[in-house]
Structure 1
Amino acid sequence: MTSDAPDGLPIPRRYRSMAAIWLALAMAVLDGAIANVALPTIAADLGASPATSVWVINAYQLTITVLLLPLAALGDKLGYRRVYLPGLVLFTIGSAGCALSHSLGMLIAARVFQGVGAACIMSMNAALVRDTYPARMLGRAIGYNAMVLSACAAAGPSIASLILTLGKWPWLFLINLPIGVAALAIGRKALPDPRRHDVALDAPAGLLAAGMMGLTVFGGELAARADGKVGAALVAAGIACAVLLVRRKKGKDAPLFPLDLLGIRLFRLSIMTSVISFAAQMLTFVALPFLLQSVLGRSVVATGLLMTPWPIALGIAASFSGRLADKVPSGLLGGIGLALMAVALFALAHLGSAPSNFAIGWRMALAGLGFGLFQSPNNRTIVATAPRRRSGAAGGMLATARLTGQTIGAVTVAAAFHLAGVKATPTLFLAASIASLAAAAVSLLRLGEQAGAKRAADQHHAALLD
């Protein structure tokens, strides 16, 4: 067991550490956005069908889903940078493999390699941020993280279009090489020193956690898009893995699947808020392009531009909501932000048959503003509520909650389109609005817990002064 950790890194090392973290985050986010946009071009060049080429995306996301929780536990055991830095190496090598691929099979294999690296990066991100910044500035640091993420998400489609205009698709992956090398060079010296914690690793539990996430996510997507019977069987197998995992780890300290953290009501409510809100976000992001292009007749370029106000507004909101989160309860900020998002999505569901670009744009901006007001404070609460020796597990759960919510949203859209086609889009936006309201309600439930925690902290501080 390590001794108490120092409260953040000194300046200027703190800034170098965050530069390494942000470079890796930017690389992972840009890669996802770029690959999505370029998928039709890649499929045509490699002679693959659209249905088969989707595995360029699925293989990457499924690998991350399976590995997040086991790697989070490994980081708590070995030290966060000892998982993070090898992840950077793997992601960079995987990017080179993608660029050199001359068949769909090779590309998918390289994307799996990338996914392993991305899982290392994503599972350790929050824990490294927590060790880099002092506790009193944690909300600000997480707000900066959200701002970087939203800026890269907004820039991704434009960067992909520019690269494809000037060159071939392998350059989409080659741009990761200088970013990965820079992040690795800075991170080796600047990231917080590795600190080991007394956390037991359980290989069977790791396999059950991987099966729980992988089978459930893949089965849900398969049930919605292709084979309902096989998909349902895989989901059932994933649920069985979850039951076995809970029975194996119940009552144990620091289990691989963090039942100990989920036993903390504030942590549990924050995770629930995250899952529901990300489901609403992804539901909107998947359905909107079909409405804009198939129903309203907007071009691909116009669609990208009309979706950009969301990440831009999110980045602006995240920059100040992170600072507010160090002083204002996240339950209140999240409740207000998600209520604004619900209003925007309700308005999106009632666009009419011939809306102007302005009518679409302000709705997207308001939704992004609300989501940004919620996201940074919520992430801060998830990370700060966990004991420091469980920071890796908290970061793993944060990423898992986001991925789970996004998967629920995407699968919901796929199922609705399978049943009713694109005409179901307004109903989907209405469902997203209701989900946002539900997430706002869950967020507000945290106010009592946070008030109690503040009173306890004030009493402890007063006792120390006495």
Structure 2
Amino acid sequence: MASQIANKTNNEVVERDGLPDAERRWAMVSVAIGVSMATLDTAIANTALPNIAAQLNATPADSVWIVNVYQLAMVATLLPFAALGEIFSYRRICIFGLALFTIASLGCACAWNLPSLIVARLFQGIGASAIMGVNTAMLRLIYPSRLLGRGFGFNSLVVAVGFAVGPTLASVILSIASWSWLFAINVPLGVVAVFLARKALPVTKAASHKFDALTALYNVGAFGMLILLFGDAAHMVDVKTIVLEAGGTLMFFFLLLRRQAGHEAPMLPVDLFRRPLFALSALTAVCTFAAQGLAFVSLPFYFEAVLGRSPVETGFLLTPWAVLVAVMAPIAGRLSDHYSPGLLGGIGLAALAAGLVSLILMPHHPSVFDICWRMAICGIGFGFFQAPNLKAIMGSAPPERSGGASGIVATARLIGQASGAALVAFCFIISAKNGEALALGLGAAFAAAACLASFSRLFVTRGQHGAA
């Protein structure tokens, strides 16, 4: 039955409101494997950097490119892949991303020196970008409209848990095997995901507009320079470099906006940002993932450097956040089918802000329980936010613009995480002694800002309903 889906004509598949139950399960398994691999590999490399640098005889500064090149490739190419998905079908782009990610993971596992690993990570990031750029748009086709909240809840669970569990998984693997197995485990999973995707993912109707390669090039330059600017500004490099990078970022964004002006489906979907609910939901996502990035980059330093915990213990101390996200995300997803995303997200983000503040106020020698219940509050809040926010973003965009909306979902997440990580570096530079507390304080401030943005959607929604 599942193999019949791929053989349907475009119109037959698009007009159906979601896939039948059996096909939906297999489609979601393939999507979940791809999303979990892409998300995990964003997180596990951070934990493994010292180990990799030592075995490849690389300096710590040079080894940072193992993380940076992956993030740069993802952020720079997300929106072009989302646009390609609208034109050539989300199914083809997703399968391409799964295949490239799998091959690149094998390349990472076989890397013999730092340059070869960085090149493999570049292609791995491009594959991950193709997966994440169309992932959310695929959910609109896999799930019927009445169950979209449930689908977004499951997707949010996979993304959040993958990011949170990454350090723990990396610590466990490094305790029993070499760093290459961090990447090698993706290969069998990727093969299974490609097979299931070819069998179960629905075909989508191609858009009428064409792909503009020059616009894509400007997009790569704009977002690539933006991430470089974040990192260098946080590390307080010389003013000349910052000015040049800022100028390059502005130039590429100007060229991008001018090039796509008047386009019916712009690659950077400025048309969607004219919708207040979409804009506020995207802002909520950026601020929330910045708060998460600030917490997950700073807390390992606190647990290991201040409390003297081992890397494996640190991974397990981060686990309550992931576990509670796993518990709350499906619940929040189902609730979002009945209640306003602005209300649900606002409640969750208030809990996240409170949890981050409670971490700052921990006693000087906290017990495991002292740490875990605070991490649990953060996980509850984060899990309560993500699925409703995802539904708000996708629901506020017309179906034919699902690709652009899906690209913004992934871009907002990565920009938030990248800016959060950069701010942690800035906090440690200005205060080596209290850098963790400063980072958590900034995280709480971002969560509070996201909370206000989320609650403000209640008034936007009411106004829209009133107008209707």
Match of 2:23 among 9, 13, 31: 13
Check whether the contact 1:142–1:380 (CA below 8 A) recurs between aligned residues: yes
Contact 1:267–1:385 (CA under 8 A) maintained in structure 2 = yes
1:102-117 correspondence runs (5 A)? 102-117=112-127
Matched, 1:438 2:433: no
CA distance in 2, matches of 1:402, 1:15: 26
Shift of 1:174: 1.3
Structure 1 residue 118 corresponds to structure 2 residue 128: yes
Displacement of 1:15 after TM fit? 0.9
User: What is the identity, as a one-letter code, of the residue corresponding to 2:30?
Assistant: A
Gaps of 5+ in 1: 460-466
- State the alpha-carbon separation in 1 of the partners of residues 226 and 164 from structure 2: 30
Match of 2:211 in 1: 201
From 461, 464, 468, give the equivalent of 1:450.
Answer: 461
Tell me the percent identity.
Answer: 44
Report the CA distance between 1:452 and its aligned residue: 4.4
Supply the distance in 1 between the matched residues of 2:358 and 2:181 (Cα, whole angstroms).
39
1:170 is aligned to 2:180: yes
Whether contact under 8 Å (2:104, 2:121) holds in the other structure is yes
Structure 2 equivalent of residue 463 of structure 1: none
Aligned to 1:69, which of 67, 71, 79?
79
Deviations 1:261-300 (A, max 9, x none): 1111110010011111111111111111122222222222
**2:396, 2:209 → 1: CA distance?**
18
Question: C-alpha offsets along residues 119-163 of structure 1, whole Å, 9 cap, x if unaligned?
Answer: 100101001111100111111101011222334344433433333
Match of residue 388 from structure 2: 377
The residue type equivalent to 1:189 in the other structure is K
What is the identity, as a one-letter code, of the residue corresponding to 1:148? V
The aligned residue for residue 375 of structure 2 is 364
Partner of 1:258: 269
Q: Quick check: 1:319 aligned with 2:313?
A: no
Label 1:34 to 1:408 Cα distance change in 2 as closer, same or farther (>3 A): closer
**Residues in 2 aligned to 1:423 and 1:383: alpha-carbon distance in whole angstroms:** 40
- Distance in 1 between the 2:303 and 2:165 partners? 20
1:343 to 318, 333, 354: 354
Partner of 1:462: none
Partner of 2:316: 305
1:355 paired to 2:370? no
Q: Secondary structure at the match of 1:257?
A: coil
Paired residues, number: 456
Question: What is the root-mean-square deviation in Å for CA atoms of aligned residues?
Answer: 1.8
1:22 alignment counterpart = 32
Question: 1:8-58: per-residue Cα shift (whole Å, max 9, x none)?
Answer: 111211111111101111222232333222221111111111111111111
| CA deviation map 1:54-77 (0-9, x unaligned) | 111111111111100111111111
**Cα deviations by residue, 1:59-105 (Å, 9 ceiling, x for unpaired):** 11111111001111111111101111011111111011111111111
Query: 1:142 and 2:148 equivalent?
Result: no
Q: How does 1:257-276 map to 2 (within 5 A)?
A: 257-276=268-287
TM-score (norm 1): 0.94
Which stretch has the larger CA shift, 399-408 or 164-173? 164-173
Q: Secondary structure at the match of 1:421?
A: coil
